Chain A
Amino acid sequence: MWMQVLAAAGFEPLGAAFPGRWKESIGDANPEGFFESRFRDGVYHATNPLPGGIYVHPDRVRDRAVKVFPFGVRRSHRAFLDRVVVTMRPCAEYVRSRARLYAMESAHRDQELGERVTPVRYVPAYLEWFFENLTLLGDLRLRRIPHRVVTYHRALRKPQAVAEVIRWLGGDADAGVAELRAERRTQVGGWTSDSEVPEYLRHLFDELHAVHDEGRPIGDGLAERLRAARTELLPAFDEARRVQRVDQRRWASDVAERVRR
């Protein structure tokens, strides 16, 4: 949503709406476009220069908007981070969204291959949500990168919050706000009864989202519980990432084998 808003506000996106064959495979998950590029993993020495050898100079992209994932922001050279707009969804919605996206990807691939390939064992989405948000917010504070946080819900509920961010960026607030369309929401609702997330973590994640949704500071009590949860969940997160890396290689090998047949 933010990429469409920023584009309308006068910041040309870096990255295509539908890279590769995303329109056919997962286009339904985001009909207006994803606007993702290699820079989603950060703008730094491993992604810039581009594969053709072209270097994207920071001075030439000051008025461009680029979508970067939370870990990518941490990797990004500060020379490129003039300002950061942070958006956040409730963890429960993120979990649903990931499940839907992965299912669409998998179904499309199976359809193309004409047979089923065992899907990748991705990092559990709730762990991803927690560590991505914690890392992002911590990094922006540590490096004192100018930023604003507007949750997805707040943006839809209070367009004025979006307008303020666009003005802070120096863009056309009216044009940007006109792009806000609530009907784009594909995932709504709270935790499902069969969620794998323990109840105390659901409360914690909901609270982390709520303070940002309401524009409140993170108090000492919440900060302490977040630190404790980080310590508790980090081994599981690291192990899940290791499993995902291994399984992605297995998956790529499985697909390649079927393509060769």
Chain B
Amino acid sequence: MIAVVGAGPRAAEWALATLEGGGLPVRRDLPDGLYFATNPGRDGHYLFPEELAGIVALVSPTGLDRTDPAFLERVLLVADPAPGDGWLVTVHDVLADVSMRGLPFWSVSVVEPVLEGLGPWLGQGAFPMAPSPLPTTVERLDPVPAAIHAALATRGDLDDELTEALVARADAARK
């Protein structure tokens, strides 16, 4: 399963529509993740990892945290920077989870969608779509969120200083 987690208001649906348009099978019914309370589902059916191989599934940050790693082939974080630091909390939580659990990870931005390399990483060969970027608020971001967004959009590393800044902003936003 390729878990897609959206950071920002339009991120998840943009990503699912884009990937679905690119021919990937998509599921929108697993936002709470896959763990003992959600799998088996209410009908008693248990989803096996192999049933979800290669399938793109929308998952909330909490759902990702709870999901059995046996299901997580890859994690795609999609950023839609917005006013306020709510999206940074999601970025922080997802980065913390994937780095701690060593999950294969990719990130894209809905306002600067760099998709080169994403298709092969998803196991789909060259990605067929080049979606239009959505209207942006990036230019109105503070330097720190703007730098974090730029790193996510280009799959650049968050250095120690930027990581510390992300942790501080996320902690402050949570309070």
Contact = CB atoms under 8 A, between A and B. Distances in A.
Interface of A: 42, 44-45, 49, 53, 55, 57-58, 74-79, 142-144
B46 A143 contact: yes
Interface residues of B, number: 14
B66 A45 contact: yes
B35 A44 contact: yes
B68 A78 contact: yes
Contact of B102 (A57, A74, A142): A57
Interface in B3-23: none
A30 B48 CA distance: 38
Given A77-B69, A79-B70, A44 B36 contact: yes
B85 interface: no
Interface string B94-107: 00000011100000
Name which of A49, A74, A75, A79 has the most chain B CB atoms within 10 A of its CB.
Answer: A79
B100 A77 contact: no
Contacts of B40: 142
The 4 closest A-B CB pairs, nearest first, are A77-B68, A79-B70, A79-B69, A78-B70
B65 interface: yes
26 contacts: A42-B36, A44-B35, A44-B36, A44-B66, A44-B68, A45-B35, A45-B65, A45-B66, A53-B100, A55-B101, A57-B101, A57-B102, A58-B69, A74-B36, A75-B35, A76-B36, A77-B35, A77-B68, A77-B69, A77-B70, A78-B49, A78-B70, A79-B68, A79-B69, A143-B48, A144-B48
Contacts of B65: 45
Given A75-B35, A77-B70, 11 more contacts: A44-B35, A44-B66, A53-B100, A55-B101, A57-B101, A74-B36, A76-B36, A79-B68, A79-B69, A143-B48, A144-B48
A14 B69 CA distance: 20
Contacts of B101: 55, 57
A interface SS class: loop
A74 B35 CA distance: 10
A75 B100 contact: no
A79 B66 CA distance: 13
B102 to A, nearest CB: 6
Nearest to B70: A79
A42 B68 CA distance: 12
A203 to B, nearest CB: 29
B46 to A, nearest CB: 5
Interface in B33-64: 35-36, 40, 46, 48-49
Contact of B36 (A55, A75, A144): A75
B122 to A, nearest CB: 21
Given A55-B101, A57-B102, A74-B36, A142 B46 contact: yes
A42 B35 CA distance: 12
A144 to B, nearest CB: 7
Interface string B130-142: 0000000000000
Contacts of B49: 78
A142 to B, nearest CB: 5
Name which of B68, B69, B102 has the most chain A CB atoms within 10 A of its CB.
Answer: B68
Name which of A57, A58, A77 has the most chain B CB atoms within 10 A of its CB.
Answer: A77
A142 B68 CA distance: 16
Nearest to A46: B66
A29 B18 CA distance: 60
A77 B40 CA distance: 13
Contacts of B35: 44-45, 75, 77
